[in-house]
A and B are shown apart, each in its own frame.
Chain A
Amino acid sequence: MHIETEVLIIGGGVTGTGVMRDLALRGINCCLIDRADLCSGASGGNHGLLHSGCRYVSNDLHSAMECRKESAILKTIVPQCIEDTGGLFVAVKGDDLLFAEKFPEYCETASILCESLTPRQARELEPLLSKDIIQAFRVPDATIDPFRLALLNVADAGRNSDSSYYPHTELLNFSLEKGTITTAVCRDNKTGKKTTIHAKQFINAGGAWAMEIACLAGCEDVSLLYSKGSLLISHDRLTNHVINRLRPPGDGDILVPGGTVSVLGTTSVRTDNLNDIRPTVPEIDKNVLEGAAMIPALATTRYIRAFSGVRPLLQSGGSGDDREATRGFALFDHEGQNISNFCTITGGKLTTYRLMAEKTADLVARRLNNSTPCRTHLNLLVDDESCRWTEPGASPKYWYQSNDPDNMILCECEMVPQSAIDEIISGAPGYEKEMTLEAIALRSRAGKGPCQGSFCGIRIASHLYDRDFYTDQTGLTHMRNFFDERFKGTRTITWGAQAAQMELAEAMHCGLLGLDMIDEPSGEK
Chain B
Amino acid sequence: MVERTRNISTDLAVIGSGLAGFAASIFALNRNIRTTQVGDSGAVTYTTGYLDLLGYHFPEPMDLLDDPWRGLQQLKELHPSHPLSRISGNDIRDAFGQVTDFLNECGIHYSSPGGKNLQALTPAGTVKPTLCMPETMLPGVNAFHNKKSAVIVDFKGLKGFSGKQVVANLKNRWPGLTTCRIEFPDARPGELYPEPMARALETPYNREKLATRLIEAAGGCNYLGLPAILGIHKPDKVRRELERLTGLTIFEIPTMPPAVPGIRLREMFQQIFPQKGLTLIPQQKVKKLILHKTRATLELTDNLGPVMIETKCVLLATGRFLSGGLQAGFHGIRESLLDLPVAQPESRSNWYKKRYTDRNGHPINQAGIEVDSSFRPLDDQKKVFSKNLFAAGSLLAHQDWIRGRCGAGIALGTAFKAVEAAAQYLRK
Contacts and interface: CB of A to CB of B under 8 A. Distances in A.
Check if A and B associate: yes
Given A408-B159, A504-B322, A483 B357 contact: yes
B205 interface: no
Contacts of B190: 405-406, 408
Interface stretch (A20-28, A200-208, A455-463): A455-463
A514 B321 contact: no
Interface string A61-85: 0000000000000000000000000
B363 to A, nearest CB: 12
Contact of B165 (A282, A465, A487, A507): A465
Interface in A468-518: 468, 470-473, 475-476, 479-480, 483-484, 486-487, 491-492, 494-496, 498-500, 502-504, 506-518
A491 B330 CA distance: 13
A410 interface: yes
Contacts of A516: 357-359, 403
Contact of B321 (A483, A500, A508, A517): A500
A459 B159 contact: yes
A177 interface: no
B189 A406 contact: yes
A405 B169 CA distance: 29
Given A471-B168, A487-B355, A517-B359, A512 B48 contact: yes
A281 B347 contact: yes
B266 interface: no
A269 to B, nearest CB: 15
A476 B159 contact: no
A5 interface: no
Interface in A228-247: none
Interface in B326-366: 326-330, 347-349, 351-352, 355-359, 361, 364-365
B322 A495 contact: no
Interface in A209-237: none
A503 B359 CA distance: 15
B357 A509 contact: yes
Contacts of B127: 514
B405 A465 contact: no
Main secondary structure of the interface of B (DSSP, over half): loop
A513 B165 contact: no
Given A406-B190, A484-B355, A516-B357, A511 B402 contact: yes
A299 B62 CA distance: 40
Contacts of A508: 256-257
Contacts of B128: 511-512, 514
Given A466-B162, A514-B126, A515-B357, A494 B254 contact: no
A280 interface: yes
A263 B169 CA distance: 39
Size category of the A interface is 35 or more
Nearest to A281: B349
A494 B352 contact: yes
A503 B162 contact: no
B122 interface: yes
Interface in A279-298: 280-282, 285, 288
Given A466-B162, A500-B322, A503-B320, A280 B349 contact: yes
Contacts of A459: 159-160
B124 interface: yes
A19 B263 CA distance: 56
A507 B408 CA distance: 13
A513 B126 contact: yes
A282 B347 CA distance: 10
A476 B348 contact: no
A463 B357 contact: no
Contacts of A499: 321, 326-328, 364
A496 B328 contact: yes
Given A473-B169, A504-B46, A462 B161 contact: yes
Interface string B233-277: 000000000000000000000101100000000000000000000
B356 A496 contact: no
A508 B191 CA distance: 21
13 contacts: A405-B191, A406-B189, A455-B256, A458-B256, A475-B165, A480-B357, A484-B355, A484-B357, A495-B348, A500-B322, A504-B46, A507-B322, A511-B403
Interface of A: 280-282, 285, 288, 299, 405-406, 408-410, 455, 458-459, 461-463, 465-466, 468, 470-473, 475-476, 479-480, 483-484, 486-487, 491-492, 494-496, 498-500, 502-504, 506-518
Given A472-B169, A494-B364, 5 more contacts: A405-B188, A463-B162, A465-B164, A466-B165, A514-B126
The 10 A-B residue pairs with the shortest CB-CB distance, nearest first, are A487-B356, A405-B190, A499-B328, A465-B165, A499-B321, A462-B162, A405-B189, A281-B349, A511-B402, A516-B357
